[in-house]
A and B are shown apart, each in its own frame.
Chain A
Amino acid sequence: MNSLSRRRFLKISGATIGVAAAGSAVLKGTQLLNRKKPSAGVETIPTFCDICFWKCGAIAYVNDGKLWKVEGNPDDPLSNGRLCPRGTGGVGAHYDPDRLKAPLIRKSVRGKEEWVEVTWDEAFTYIAEKMQKIKANYGPEAVALFSHGIGGNFFKHTLKAFGTPNIAAPSFAQCRGPRDVGFRLTFGEDVSSPERTDIKNAKCLVLIGSHLGENMHNTQVQEFAEAIENGASIIVVDPRFSVAASKAKHYLPIKPGTDLALLLAWMNVIVNEKLYDFEYVQKYGFGFEQFAASIQQYTPEWAYPETGIEPELIRETAREMARFKPATLVHPGRHVTWYGDDAQRSRAVAMLNALLGSWGRKGGFYTPVSMDVPSYPYPDYPKSAKGKVDNPDHKYPFAHETITTGIREATITGKPYPVKGWFVYATNLLHALPNEEETIKAIQNLDLLVVIDVIPSEIAGWADVVLPESVYLERHDDLNVEWFREPFVALRQPVVDSPHDQKPNWWMAKKLAEKLDLGHYYPWNDIEEYFEHRLKAAGLSYSELKKKGTIRGAKQPIYFDEGVPAEFPTPSGKIEFYSLQLQQAGFDPVPKYNRPAAGPPGYLRLLYGRAPVHSFSRTQSNRVLMDMMNENEVWINTNIAARFGLKSGDYVRLKNKDGVVSNRIKVKATERIRPDCAYMVHGFGHNAKGLTFAYGKGASDAQLLTRYITDPLMGGTASNMNFATMESEVA
């Protein structure tokens, strides 16, 4: 079994579909979709989940041809045989009565959600004509793709073949981007996803705003429980007493926006008390002396009024981390676009880990490995003369992925060049990007907006063409060749038929390519041919993969101590405690703390997060999951609730500083949050007409995020910058 070397990982990390030469082929209608004959009794089919984007291996049970339940695949290293509640509730996606059912073309003004049902051929003809017109007038770069998840791979391929480099996912600028930039600047590598965090072997686990357990990325939560069972010392920093906080030895109820002050004070203690991993820092570190000198001002006494965390507690927790080094994992988080200092704050997290010697070490960060499954040999993509539109003149010098909000900005301004077409795959941009007014403004400048999704989301409501996708239990997707603790490859395959005229994304992307005279980019007839080709090149058997769902490779070394070379692809080749590249770009070479702006009196800082039973704004029409949680609540401290004359169960509307008023939302008056914050779960408050069940249930944080700060290093949009007050609502 082949495995990729670490060097090759560094080289290709981030690449998607490869290129080479081949011929063209013709599709043969629905026979490609491998319609299944219902069989009697219980049949089990392995696949992998898509209710979030973690891609857990699953086994679907079909009873007399009807989907019954989905369980974890015991052979799969991401699920270890156990799915999270969303995966277990995945059946609800198939049975969702609000699903998109047929291709739609808009028949009145944008956003009115009035449609004509069309055939697939009519839809592709319409889209292809508009695309060719845009290409003729503005060039192919004027078409952009927003995409989330592995299902977007084939649309990416078609649009790259069309000639656009403008392909982005909110997972960068609205989520994990600052973290990956902060870690790149320090270690030369991303944290990537699934995160390379060795939670299960950590003896001390530090979570800063990371609400594991509510954030239900399966493998991480499984490992979190393992760490608890092993008696790991857990330190949780959060303005809210999260589920994770309830497992902690030390809970630090930090003043929101001041995490960097705490991180600097922790490093101050660890450096000045000489608690760091001296040998590791000496061997691998660059610029330690300058770094040590520049954090002298950040004492625990200095940090106290900033963070609200007592100096002794800062010292005690710093010593606790040092006691268990290098098996102390300061978790880098995932959704970290908070306060505008996010890349620098993430860099401070990276540096703290470096002091503890945890990068590359057991109980810290492992080095991920992968199966060597070569890309399909496609023809070369055309080269774009104009380059990407999202980040003109490298305004955000450390953005290593495309910035969604940069494309949105260019669509509004027409600069550096006009963007006239958007494809949106499986991401509800109106909930995913801050300031929906800007998103709508951008949409008004478009000649074409195509939305590919399974449900009639808010963004679908603004589309010119809506393409209904089969849910993951009804389709194939690209192979999941994951970078993880151990190498493996996983297959998503249809378990049941789509109930209406929904189609898999690969079929749509291929059909569209043919309409655009780009059929030669799809030299295969059927996706199974594509799988066969790639797996054969990897020396693997497709029939075995179909049967097992996941094929695992041999375990590889994943720690420095096991022989993984300690390499740091930074400019100095070392762990950069002091960053010359930041200095040269005009930024602080060592992070500096800036106090966040406070809100006006009577307003609470609006924080948001996840619930274990929902994924973003994509699961509120799943009846099984809605039976678990069918509206969100606004958490406010009991004292604040009393001051407003509110109690749990009362309904309010939230009003932000710009006067935007939310849907009504239920109050949760609780001791589990600071009095200066309000917290809500993201994803609710739908107002798309087609989401008949989710419509009007709970409130949308996204609607209230009118203000954001753009991270100067990488263009991330920090959204914990909004303040809201409450207006009583008669239930």
Chain B
Amino acid sequence: MARLGMVIDTKKCVGCMDCVVACKTENNVPEGYNKDWIVQETKGAFPTLTTEIRSERCNHCDNPPCVSCCPTGASHVHELGKVVLVTKNECIGCKACVASCPYDARFIHPDGYADKCTFCIHRVEKGLDPACVSVCPTHCMYFGDLDDPNSQVSRLLASRKNHSLMPEVGTQPRIFYLR
């Protein structure tokens, strides 16, 4: 069974937010909410600076606290690619998952359920990339099976320096950033 993940090349990313817009239109995300976002992290003092630009979203963790804390089982690991999903009609909107996520990836949809990035599972089922990946004008995002050593994502991780977000919290995130 596949273990789907994302690799994002921060060297190519320009932070244009196309991934955020594409997610909104693809998934009809209501105004004022978003399932992915851009972080620009600057270090140093002018003019000796570095800025890492990252497209962030739910990390679809291997060890997802949002799933273990869910009282109803609405938050679950899907059989396709181990994607972390929410069954909205089983969700009671208790916000335990929102509080448990170290990445602040979840929000309560105006209709009352917990919502977040689905890796566009409706597209993945059809063999398409998530909307954010397929829209990116810089081609900085890659999507695939982390368990397949021959997948593009695995090869990129094997050949390039990379990091994930807050690995120390033990969630085992599946989004990796190439430096």
Q: Which residue of the partner chain, among A83, A612, A613, A637, contacts B46 with CB atoms under 8 Å?
A: A637
Question: B138 near A627 (CB under 8 angstroms)?
Answer: no
Chain A binder among B47-55, B63-71, B110-118, B147-155? B47-55
B77 in contact (CB, < 8 A): no
A222 in contact (CB, < 8 A): yes
Question: A243 near B140 (CB under 8 angstroms)?
Answer: no
Q: Name the residue in B16, B40, B51, B52 with the highest tally of chain A Cβ atoms < 10 Å from its Cβ.
A: B16
Question: A225 near B25 (CB under 8 angstroms)?
Answer: no
Question: B15 near A253 (CB under 8 angstroms)?
Answer: no
Interface majority SS on B: helix, strand, loop or mixed?
A: mixed
Q: Which residue of the partner chain, among B15, B22, B26, B42, contacts A671 with CB atoms under 8 Å?
A: B42
Alpha-carbon distance between A228 and B53 when the two chains are bound, in angstroms:
14
Q: Which residue of the partner chain, among B14, B17, B25, B134, contacts A221 with CB atoms under 8 Å?
A: B14
Chain B binder among A160-168, A211-219, A378-386? A211-219
Q: Taking A213-B14, A243-B15, A613-B17 as contacts, is the C-beta distance between A222 and B46 under 8 angstroms?
A: no
B141 to chain A, nearest CB (A): 11
Mark interface residues in A392-425 (1 if CB within 8 Å of B CB, else 0).
0000000000000000000000000000000000
The residues of A that contact B49 with a CB separation of less than 8 Å are: 241, 245-246, 251, 671-672
Q: Taking A89-B25, A612-B17 as contacts, is the C-beta distance between A247 and B11 under 8 angstroms?
A: yes
Question: A613 near B16 (CB under 8 angstroms)?
Answer: yes
A-B contact count (CB 8 A): 123
The residues of B that contact A82 with a CB separation of less than 8 Å are: 18, 134-137, 139
B21 in contact (CB, < 8 A): yes
Question: B20 near A628 (CB under 8 angstroms)?
Answer: yes
Alpha-carbon distance between A244 and B15 when the two chains are bound, in angstroms:
11
A662 in contact (CB, < 8 A): no
Mark interface residues in A607-625 (1 if CB within 8 Å of B CB, else 0).
0000011000000000111
B45 in contact (CB, < 8 A): yes
The residues of B that contact A212 with a CB separation of less than 8 Å are: 14
Closest A residue to B49 using CB positions: A241
The residues of B that contact A216 with a CB separation of less than 8 Å are: 16, 137
A279 in contact (CB, < 8 A): no
> In B28-47, which residues have CB < 8 Å from any A CB?
31-32, 34, 40, 42, 44-47
A6 in contact (CB, < 8 A): no
Q: Which residue of the partner chain, among A91, A218, A628, contacts B17 with CB atoms under 8 Å?
A: A628
The residues of B that contact A637 with a CB separation of less than 8 Å are: 46
Question: B51 near A628 (CB under 8 angstroms)?
Answer: no
The residues of A that contact B24 with a CB separation of less than 8 Å are: 89, 624, 627
A335 in contact (CB, < 8 A): no
A627 to chain B, nearest CB (A): 6
Alpha-carbon distance between A250 and B17 when the two chains are bound, in angstroms:
26
Q: Taking A88-B18, A225-B138, A624-B21 as contacts, is the C-beta distance between A246 and B53 under 8 angstroms?
A: yes
Question: A612 near B14 (CB under 8 angstroms)?
Answer: yes
A670 in contact (CB, < 8 A): yes
Question: B51 near A672 (CB under 8 angstroms)?
Answer: yes
Closest A residue to B22 using CB positions: A88
A254 to chain B, nearest CB (A): 10
B3 in contact (CB, < 8 A): no
The residues of A that contact B12 with a CB separation of less than 8 Å are: 225, 228-229
B166 to chain A, nearest CB (A): 22
Closest A residue to B18 using CB positions: A85
Alpha-carbon distance between A675 and B47 when the two chains are bound, in angstroms:
11
Alpha-carbon distance between A251 and B50 when the two chains are bound, in angstroms:
11
Q: Taking A84-B18, A213-B15, A222-B137 as contacts, is the C-beta distance between A243 and B51 under 8 angstroms?
A: yes
Question: A673 near B46 (CB under 8 angstroms)?
Answer: yes
Question: A69 near B25 (CB under 8 angstroms)?
Answer: yes
Question: B16 near A241 (CB under 8 angstroms)?
Answer: no
A31 to chain B, nearest CB (A): 32
Closest B residue to A211 using CB positions: B14
> In A643-689, which residues have CB < 8 Å from any B CB?
670-675
Q: Name the residue in B11, B138, B140 with the highest tally of chain A Cβ atoms < 10 Å from its Cβ.
A: B138
Question: A213 near B46 (CB under 8 angstroms)?
Answer: no
The residues of A that contact B140 with a CB separation of less than 8 Å are: 225
> In A245-285, which residues have CB < 8 Å from any B CB?
245-247, 251, 253
Closest B residue to A247 using CB positions: B11
> In A21-78, which residues have CB < 8 Å from any B CB?
68-72
The residues of B that contact A253 with a CB separation of less than 8 Å are: 46-47
Q: Name the residue in A213, A224, A637 with the highest tally of chain B Cβ atoms < 10 Å from its Cβ.
A: A213
Alpha-carbon distance between A68 and B26 when the two chains are bound, in angstroms:
8
Alpha-carbon distance between A88 and B22 when the two chains are bound, in angstroms:
6
Closest A residue to B38 using CB positions: A628
Q: Taking A89-B25, A246-B51, A251-B47 as contacts, is the C-beta distance between A222 and B138 under 8 angstroms?
A: yes
Question: A674 near B14 (CB under 8 angstroms)?
Answer: no
Question: B21 near A628 (CB under 8 angstroms)?
Answer: yes
B115 to chain A, nearest CB (A): 15
B49 to chain A, nearest CB (A): 5
Closest B residue to A220 using CB positions: B137
The residues of A that contact B136 with a CB separation of less than 8 Å are: 82
The residues of B that contact A222 with a CB separation of less than 8 Å are: 137-139
A214 to chain B, nearest CB (A): 7
Alpha-carbon distance between A403 and B169 when the two chains are bound, in angstroms:
61
A654 to chain B, nearest CB (A): 21
Alpha-carbon distance between A229 and B52 when the two chains are bound, in angstroms:
16
Q: Which residue of the partner chain, among B25, B44, B138, contacts A624 with CB atoms under 8 Å?
A: B25
The residues of A that contact B42 with a CB separation of less than 8 Å are: 241, 670-672
Alpha-carbon distance between A247 and B40 when the two chains are bound, in angstroms:
13
Alpha-carbon distance between A218 and B139 when the two chains are bound, in angstroms:
12
Alpha-carbon distance between A241 and B25 when the two chains are bound, in angstroms:
31
Question: B32 near A627 (CB under 8 angstroms)?
Answer: yes
5 pairs from A and B in contact (CB 8 Å cutoff): A69-B22, A88-B135, A229-B12, A253-B47, A613-B21
4 additional A-B pairs beyond A84-B16, A213-B14, beta carbons within 8 Å, are A82-B137, A241-B49, A247-B11, A612-B18
Q: Chain B interface (Cβ within 8 Å of chain A)?
A: 9, 11-12, 14-18, 20-22, 24-26, 31-32, 34, 40, 42, 44-47, 49-53, 134-140
